[in-house]
Structure 1
């Protein structure tokens, strides 16, 4: 697995390597079903209810970006290892840049990644041939 300490990392490897209970969900159009999948999976892996709400919000923002800005949808992977919960949102869109500031209150768009960065313990962009992964981490 790629370990990341900074706010942005670009590495070749995008899939979890040691986790044995990775759950995957295909993002097509129903973000409500995705939220239920993420919430249930995070609770099963020991994330507190309060943190589950944050994770669900973050994944919802990322999946909405996938649906709005790419073709063909994407997928979400969720797993826990070493006291951490990881979630990848994978699509064929362009690499995202991190470190964004929150847009002004009158801005219509552009809050998704800024929200994700504020509520997750760590966020990274991982690049591999043909796909972009936004990986988020929350401590269990």
Structure 2
């Protein structure tokens, strides 16, 4: 998919950028009409994905937010592999693997795909 950049975006490249990413997502989501409690959940999901970007890729990533058809849409774009969703929550004694499950739990819809910009994880949350 050759998706263009939409809405407002923020680039991140360092672990020290994560606080700014969280602040950006929380503020933009509320400004675009998402309820504050749901904006907190989206912020958690984006933090999980951005942390994965910084742990598993050499480059940073980009977060974008916009509205479409009654939803808030948020893309996290990086140069890593397309993530596999649908694995569910790992067992309580697992050391890793909860991040993608958390993303799926807090968003209404999640899709991952390759685009000309890199790998995209697109999250949608209803505004109503």
Q: TM-score, normalised by structure 1?
A: 0.85
Number of paired residues?
Answer: 125
Alignment-derived partner of residue 24 in structure 1: 9
Q: Secondary structure at the match of 1:55?
A: helix
Cα deviations by residue, 1:15-65 (Å, 9 ceiling, x for unpaired):
36xx6xx11100112211100000010010010011001100000001001
Alignment-derived partner of residue 15 in structure 1: 4
Match of 1:34 among 21, 35, 40: 21
Aligned 1:70-85 pairs, distance under 5 A: 70-85=57-72
CA–CA distance in structure 2, aligned partners of residues 15 and 103 of structure 1: 34
Structure 2's unaligned 5+ residue stretches are: none
Cα deviations by residue, 1:102-134 (Å, 9 ceiling, x for unpaired):
111111111110110111000001212461000
CA–CA distance in structure 2, aligned partners of residues 117 and 136 of structure 1: 9
CA–CA distance in structure 2, aligned partners of residues 129 and 40 of structure 1: 28
Segments ≥4 residues shifted beyond 4 Å: none
Q: Secondary structure at the match of 1:41?
A: helix
Q: Secondary structure at the match of 1:95?
A: coil
Match of 1:47 among 28, 34, 40: 34
Structure 1's unaligned 5+ residue stretches are: 1-11
Q: Secondary structure at the match of 2:75?
A: strand
CA–CA distance in structure 2, aligned partners of residues 87 and 14 of structure 1: 13
CA–CA distance in structure 1, aligned partners of residues 66 and 117 of structure 2: 22
Query: Between Structure 1 and Structure 2, which shows a larger proportion of helix residues?
Result: 2
Kept after mapping to 2: 8 A contact 1:122/1:136: yes
